[in-house]
Structure 1
Amino acid sequence: MADVAFSVCVYLGSRPGDNPLFTEAATAVGRWIGQHGGQLVYGGGRSGLMGQVAEATRVAGGRVVGVIPQALVDKELANQLCDELHIVQTMHERKAMMAERSDAFLALPGGIGTLEELFEVWTWRQLGYHDKPIGVLDTDGYYDALLGFLQHAVKNGLMSEWQMGLVRTGTEPGDLLTALVQDAGLNASAIALRDVI
């Protein structure tokens, strides 16, 4: 594997959505990863927010690792500009490879696929299958209703505050990414801003 300071798995929509702030957030996340010598691990598509975060990472000098099932190669338009593009047979393989290649996980706005990936990696963490940090970037309040519902589950005794504490939430991409990389136990020097040529 190439020499990178850290590797972040980003879950986000294969559609752009109707809010331009979502595109701005995806661009900011990719730019931060690239400028800090990091590697993006994501779903391998070039459409929507997925394509945006990958291109921003690439342009800023970061590595891009895409993992996409054969069945979605055409639907999500596989990104041939990835430094590594892995075409797998199932979603299970996709998610396992993405998790294995990452130091931390970050969810941006997305649909049911994004939510499914977030909840799976969150469940894995509570069960002790991994101890990698997880973040939710709540751009323009996108996740407010979901986070409110989860607090409703806590109030009803079906979740605990301990489970909620396994996920960081934030609204500023740079602050949240810095916290996740540090939570992963990486040295602060590993995320020092590099000169961008």
Structure 2
Amino acid sequence: MALVRTVCVYCGSGFGRNPAFREAAETLGAALARAGMALVYGGGDVGLMGTVARAVLEGGGHVTGIIPDFLQARENMLEAVNETIVVPDMHTRKRLMFERSDAFVTLPGGIGTLEELVEQLTWAQLGRHRKPVVLVSVDGFWTPLLGLFDHMRSHGFIREGLDLSYLVAPEAADVVPLLQAAGREPDQRAEELITKRM
């Protein structure tokens, strides 16, 4: 598995009700900048997405925002980023975010965040990539989803040979060490690492 140099972060365009979510976004952004890992994200200056991007910039890191033209006003496109790519639709946005990233990290968010996460899990399940996928389960935010995965396994819909590969970080501070470890490990060991769950 290649070293992780660029990280795509999926997260909410709102803050949610728990102040810990915003703190996690700030912590993650600062940690990425310190580690020299560039950020790829959805391009907005709202909610958790704006928080993580500004934290990376404040730490001297590099940020690429990719945003569909119809969302520029709605998500208040962040002008201060190092690179902004305006695309015609969501499909192009997601493709470019995938192509430009070595790993994917998911903070708390809504249905759009969930859709982006599940797409990467599906592509990995089908053998289209081997990039690490990390769920940051702040205050157990992703626990119900992990329970659903277990439910799917128990009913035979996630079965041997088609299991999901992901890491779970209880805290945002755990993300960079997980990504660094995944990038250092030989392929077989890295596969074992990224299938570990809480």
TM-score, normalised via structure 1 length: 0.88
Residues 18-51 of structure 1 deviation map (CA, whole Å, 9 limit, x = unaligned): 1100000000100000111110100000000000
Equivalent in the alignment of 1:189: none
Q: Distance in 1 between matches of 2:171 and 2:160?
A: 23
The one-letter amino acid paired with 1:149 is L
Residues 84-123 of structure 1 deviation map (CA, whole Å, 9 limit, x = unaligned): 0100001111011011111100000000110000000111
Equivalent in the alignment of 1:190: none
Equivalent in the alignment of 1:85: 84
Equivalent in the alignment of 1:118: 117
Q: Distance in 2 between matches of 1:104 and 1:133?
A: 5
The one-letter amino acid paired with 2:115 is E
Equivalent in the alignment of 1:167: 166
Describe the shift of the 1:174–1:87 C-alpha distance in structure 2 as closer, same or farther (beyond 3 A): same
Correspondence 1:6 to 2:9 = no
Long gaps (5+) in structure 1: 187-197
Equivalent in the alignment of 2:63: 64
CA contact (8 A) 2:8 2:40 kept: yes
Moved more, 20-29 or 126-135: 126-135
SS at match of 1:184: helix
- How many residues are treated as equivalent by the alignment? 184
Q: Distance in 1 between matches of 2:7 and 2:173?
A: 13
Residues 119-168 of structure 1 deviation map (CA, whole Å, 9 limit, x = unaligned): 00111111111111101000011111111111111111111376555011
CA drift of 1:185 comes to 4.4
Percent sequence identity is: 44
Equivalent in the alignment of 1:157: 156
CA drift of 1:182 comes to 3.0
Equivalent in the alignment of 1:43: 42
CA contact (8 A) 1:104 1:181 kept: no
CA RMSD in angstroms comes to: 1.9
1:24-43 alignment runs, 5 A limit: 24-43=23-42
Q: Distance in 2 between matches of 1:43 and 1:51?
A: 9
Q: Distance in 1 between matches of 2:93 and 2:179?
A: 22
Q: Distance in 2 between matches of 1:144 and 1:33?
A: 24
Long gaps (5+) in structure 2: 186-198
Equivalent in the alignment of 1:178: 177
Q: Distance in 1 between matches of 2:77 and 2:106?
A: 20
Correspondence 1:141 to 2:140 = yes
The one-letter amino acid paired with 1:120 is E
Describe the shift of the 1:60–1:161 C-alpha distance in structure 2 as closer, same or farther (beyond 3 A): farther
Equivalent in the alignment of 1:193: none
TM-score, normalised via structure 2 length: 0.87
SS at match of 2:168: strand
